[in-house]
Amino acid sequence: MPFIKNDFIDKVLARVDIVDVINARVKLKKQGSSYTCCCPFHQEKTPSFSVNQKKQYFNCFGCHKAGSAIKFVMEYDNLSFSEAVVELANMVGLEVEYEEKGRSRFNNVNKEESKTSIYFTLLTDAAKLFHQELQKSEIAQQYLAARGITKETIEKYEIGFAPNSWDFILKI
Ligand SMILES: [Zn+2]
């Protein structure tokens, strides 16, 4: 996975409201200047979980879990740091910005990188071809429909079909 730009993380945190983020997952109650609820991370009968909207920070006096909206989503949705950032970005409609240089771990090894990009182009082209083949094949489309795979899924994952010919990909 490419690295998310550092300042994009700040952008996301500036855009989201931790109260909305948490409230979408557990019902919060406004109490004075903060919001509270029973902690989703430990068993309790009286709320010791509180959210500070001004500081965009949550804190539990019971189990001592605390942090930003990102931390909450990581813990609650069981996501990695970058997955949580992507999740929050989606929530507020921000397009994730990735580090150009971090695109490949082979960055300092130019040869490796160019090899990687050649393979990547080849595989992308091959995937496109198989995907085009699927549009041509009635039988393959019927098969997918019977399996309950929708047109959207086919497009989204660029599902393809390999015709019955061992050298199809070489003839192109
Ligand atoms: Zn707790």
Task: Tell me how far the alpha carbon of residue 61 lies from the centroid of ligand 1, in angstroms.
Answer: 7
Regarding whether 13 and 70 lie in a shared domain, the answer is: yes
Same domain, 161 and 103: no
Ligand 1 centroid to 66 CA: how many Å?
9
Sheet with 34-37, side-by-side order of all strands: 29-31, 34-37, 49-52, 57-60, 66-67
> Do residues 15 and 74 both lie within one domain?
yes
User: Along the 172 residues of the chain, how does pLDDT read in single tens digits?
Assistant: 678 998 999 999 999 999 999 999 999 999 999 999 999 999 999 999 999 999 999 999 999 999 999 999 999 999 999 999 999 999 999 999 998 764 544 444 455 556 666 666 677 778 888 888 888 888 888 888 888 888 888 888 888 888 887 777 777 6
Give the pLDDT of residue 118: 64
Provide the residue count of the chain.
172
Measured in Å, residue 156 CA sits from the centre of ligand 1 at 39
Q: Measure the CA–CA gap between 27 and 38, rounded to whole angstroms.
A: 9
Ligand 1 center–CA 55 separation, angstroms? 19
Q: Ligand 1 mean position to 62 CA, how many Å?
A: 5
Same domain, 43 and 105: yes
Domain count, the chain: 2
CA 14 to ligand 1 centroid distance, Å: 25
